[in-house]
Structure formats: C-alpha cells, structure tokens
Amino acid sequence: MATLTDSAQADSDQDFSRLPHLPADVFTAPLKRPEHVGEDWLEPKQTEYDSEDDAIWDDLFARQMKVLPGRAASAFMEGTEKLDLGRGGVPEFGTLSEELDKLTGWSVVPVPMLIPDHVFFWHLANRRFPAGNFIRTRETFDYIQEPDVFHDVFGHVPMLTDPVYADYMQEYGRAGWKAMRYNRLKALGALYWYTVEFGLLLEAPGDIRAYGAGILSGPTEVVYATEAQSPNRIMLNVDRVMRTDYVISDLQPTYFVIESFEDLYRQTVERDFDKLYRSLGPGFTYANTAVIDVDYVVNEGTLEYTLRGGRGSGADAV
C-alpha cells in the first residue's frame, strides 16, 4: 500500500517530460483520438485559414474589444497588446509562440479538439498551451460547444504573458498527476473552471475584473460576471471551490474572486493537496448557487437570472 512518503517521493521523481500513464481506474471523458495525431494529440501543422476565417477572427476580436476595457483584468488587456492579437486574422502559432516564449517561456500548440485530461496536464506542465485547430463559423458565431482557436488563443493566451499566472498554469498541469493518482480529477476540474475559465480578480477596492477565458471570450458573460446583480461573488477558497458544482452551458450563478495572481498561486501551489484529496468525497458537496457560512462574500447575488431558468427562458442576463 502506498504511504505518504511514497507519494511525496513519487512527486519529486515525476518526470514531466514524458507523457503520464493514466491509471485504468481513473474516470476521464472517453475521447476517440483521430488517426492523424499521435499520443501527444498534436496536429502536424496549424490549419491554413482563409480570408473568411480571418474575417471571423477580426469580427470576434472587435466585438470583445468593445466590452472588455474596464471589465477585463489589466494583465489580460496588456497581454493582448504584447502579443498584438489584433494585428489581423487568426494568429500564426509559430510567431505567437516565439513572442510568448520571450515573455514567459510558453508556446501555443494546435490540437484537433478537446484532448484527454492527462495529455492536457502534460502539455501544461511543459508550458505548452493546446489550442483548437479550427475557428467557429458565422452560424455559430455567438456560441460554440467545443473551444475553437478564438476561445483558446484570445481567451487564454494573453494571461500567459503574466509571469505569476504563467507559473500557476504550469503548476496546475503538474498537479494533474497527483489528482489522477487520487482519482480527484473532478475536484481539480472545478478549480480550473472557477479560476482559469471563470475567475474574477479584485483589481482594486470595488473594482472587480475578469481574468477567466470563458468570460473574456464572449460578449455577454463579461458584463454579467462583473456588473450584474444576479450572481454571487465570493472570495476564492480552494477547499471550498473543489467541492462546488458548476454549470457548463449557461452563465454561472457564482463566481470566485482572487486578490491577486500571487494569491492564486499561493492558495494552490502551496496547498497540501494530499490532505485535501483524502478529505474530499467522490461528488460535489455544494450546489453552484450556495453561499455557505465559511464564505467571504463580496456580493451576495439575487440569483434572479438562474432562478428564472437561465438560458432559453427569456431571463435577462444583464
């Protein structure tokens, strides 16, 4: 039987250069690997986008730039400028990676679709960000199910220019190994959801900004998440967040707020996850609408949007 010492030993011995072994008893989404990609799930090359694809990127970019100033974290806005994401058309990953490498040592690599958790962790642990190798169409301009190059590159990559956030993402990838060993991917997934995808930052007193890619890559949620009366905004507590359920295809009833990226790094990387994983149950403890007694609440929401039925009900988000 494995002991704590064995586990600590395994962590320090972990070779992050090699693709991790996925234990047979670990549940992950059953994804069928396309024949043209290898075990790393990397596309041999980036799609050659045509002028209509480039126009879709430009229109999405322009739409976001109308709503993001004053609502997106300053680090994100600075990242879009440092990487010149508005230069026109879908960014070429080679050039983008060269620029990002100079800033924080990260690169962007094309993948065909959502990839298995253990492969995703492996790329992050090696400072490679996997991004979709396709762009949405005009028909799916407002909402797509699978993350495309706009969500992945515009939404995620600017934050990777921030040195502390860049380190957090790498550590998240490394933490995936441990979560797999404890069969706690669901809990680690909730942390990703409430930080990397839907995280808010208290940039100055009373000034809530978004840094999560799920918020920043669409026009509605950035206004809803930062300004609407409906959602709860609660200071991030990792133990609590890893026990909290989340909504996949609608606006969130609750967002978690960090004080700074250093705060996020400290709360996660310096946390004793072995102890936490042993204390977690197999499912989530808290509903995504709940405010509980340990919460430090920034705004308690009316939950009106969620209670009226959310997307498709006619309820106004903002």
Contacts with Fe ion by CB under 5 A lie at: 147, 213
Nearer to Fe ion, 247 or 292 (CB): 247
CA dist 252 and 224 (Å) reads 9
Strands 254-258 and 297-299: unpaired
CB atoms closer than 10 angstroms to residue 10: 13
Two tokens, residue 193: 């959801």
| 3-state SS, residue 298 | strand
CA dist 122 and 27 (Å) reads 17
Q: What are the DSSP E strand ranges found in 149-282?
A: 200-204, 207-210, 232-235, 254-258
CA dist 180 and 277 (Å) reads 10
Classify residue 290 as left (phi > 0), alpha (psi -120 to 50) or beta.
Answer: beta
CB of 106 to Fe ion, least distance (A): 15
CB of 213 to Fe ion, least distance (A): 5
CB of 152 to Fe ion, least distance (A): 6
CA dist 69 and 223 (Å) reads 11
The answer to whether residues 233 and 255 touch, using CB atoms and an 8 Å cutoff, is yes
CB of 192 to Fe ion, least distance (A): 9
CB of 85 to Fe ion, least distance (A): 16
Nearer to Fe ion, 222 or 280 (CB): 222
Nearer to Fe ion, 114 or 292 (CB): 114
CB of 156 to Fe ion, least distance (A): 6
Nearer to Fe ion, 110 or 147 (CB): 147
Q: What does the buried/exposed string (b/e) look like for 131-165 if buried means 16 or more CB atoms within 10 Å of the residue's CB?
A: bbbbbbeeeeeeebeebbbbbbbbbbbbbbbbeeb
Nearer to Fe ion, 37 or 144 (CB): 144
Nearer to Fe ion, 109 or 213 (CB): 213
Two tokens, residue 48: 């050659």
Nearer to Fe ion, 112 or 147 (CB): 147
Two tokens, residue 205: 């007193």
Strands 200-204 and 254-258: parallel
Nearer to Fe ion, 212 or 301 (CB): 212
CB of 111 to Fe ion, least distance (A): 12
* Residue entry with tokens 């909290």: 244
The answer to whether residues 130 and 120 touch, using CB atoms and an 8 Å cutoff, is yes
Q: Return the bridge partners of 200, or none.
A: 210, 257
CB of 316 to Fe ion, least distance (A): 25
For Fe ion, the nearest residue by Cβ is: 213
